[in-house]
Amino acid sequence: MTLKRARRIVVKVGSSLVTNEGRGVDARAVGDWCRQLAALAAQGREVIMVSSGAIAEGMQRLGWRERPKALPQLQAAAAVGQMALVQMYEQQLAAQGLRSAQVLLTHADLADRERYLNARSTLMALLGHRVVPVVNENDTVVTDEIKFGDNDTLGALVANLVEADALVILTDQRGLFAADPRRDATAPLIAQALAGDAALEAMAGGAGSAIGRGGMLTKVLAAKRAARSGAATVIAWGREPDVLLRLAAGEAIGTHLAPGLPVLAARKQWMADHLQLRGAVHVDAGAAAKLRDAGKSLLAVGVTAVEGEFSRGDVIAVRQPDGDVIARGLANYASAEVRLIARQPSSRFAAILGYCAEGELIHRDNLVLL
């Protein structure tokens, strides 16, 4: 498995690489990646850079030695650091004859269907004009409720957003190892695996795993998320010489995670990628079986309980009797209405609500199984 045929590539670089372990934006490193991006663009490939480093750079400029805990201080550091970060990418890409654009996103941008489509249209237009988008989370306005939490997740969401062929996560490790290589020097590198393999998640985030706590688990989960749109993921050392060019040439570097999951339609992909949901409905065993095994729509008669407050058109979770989420979908009715029509056939909707918008609570075209 290689990235030789990948035409659209999302590259994510970590904060420690971008800022040289917090000492400030590393012009040499950024310049080297930009040189490689230019070479990939010359091959006819489309590239998007997802870059961390704004908060670390802001802390360095403000003279802060310890990462602040207060959200306004983090946002202030991000605002200061973002100036240096985008300036460095613009300067280094321009030196390679490439135009660049800054794109700042929050989860709210991708959780809202209209804003999701707007973000996609913007990125696709930039690629169409041979502009390299430099994407980061909008830390200056983000809150705990809407933050992505890490740029590995953001990289995967961007890969889904533009239907990329590959997601390359550049990190300070040479890939995913069977054990923490900082504790076990004999731990073997996992060269190839299937994205979404539960064994990988256990390996990356198991008890006592410094790698998992340090972010390797988020990379494995990002690969799982990117696989939903058919993207392969590579986890590799960011300081490997010509890492992007060698990967694109077909060389096996780091850990390659193949997209073994089925490719979802764009709207279902958007629903599956929701990190926060408005609520959920609990269904009985019969309804769960019809969703899971027969691909049916969800009817209100199968609903046993309603969780949270949501409106018509919101994405909600569907929980089977044991509480596990088996699906997500667009609700045709608000939570207050669902509480009234739960366990009722659609023929009773008009009498109970005064109208009948849809016969299904979630139509199968607006539902994705997890």
Alpha-carbon gap, residue 10 to 269, rounded angstroms: 17
- Could you list the pLDDT tens digit for every one of the 370 residues in the chain? 568 999 999 999 988 899 888 788 899 999 999 999 999 999 999 999 999 888 888 998 999 988 888 888 988 998 999 999 999 999 999 999 999 999 999 888 888 777 888 899 899 999 999 999 999 988 777 766 557 767 899 999 999 999 999 999 999 889 998 887 777 888 899 999 999 888 888 888 643 333 333 478 899 999 999 998 889 999 999 999 999 999 999 999 999 999 987 777 777 877 777 777 889 999 999 999 999 999 999 999 999 999 999 998 889 999 999 999 999 999 999 999 999 999 999 999 999 999 998 999 999 988 999 8
* 176-222 tens-digit pLDDT: 988 877 778 888 999 999 998 888 888 886 433 333 334 788 999 99
* Of 120, 102, 100, residue with least CA distance to 110: 120
Boundaries of every domain in the chain: 8-268, 277-369
* Secondary structure element (H or E) that encloses residue 305, with its range: strand 303-308
Task: State the fold for domain 8-268.
Answer: Carbamate kinase (3.40.1160)
* Secondary structure element (H or E) that encloses residue 201, with its range: helix 198-205
Task: State the fold for domain 277-369.
Answer: 2.30.130
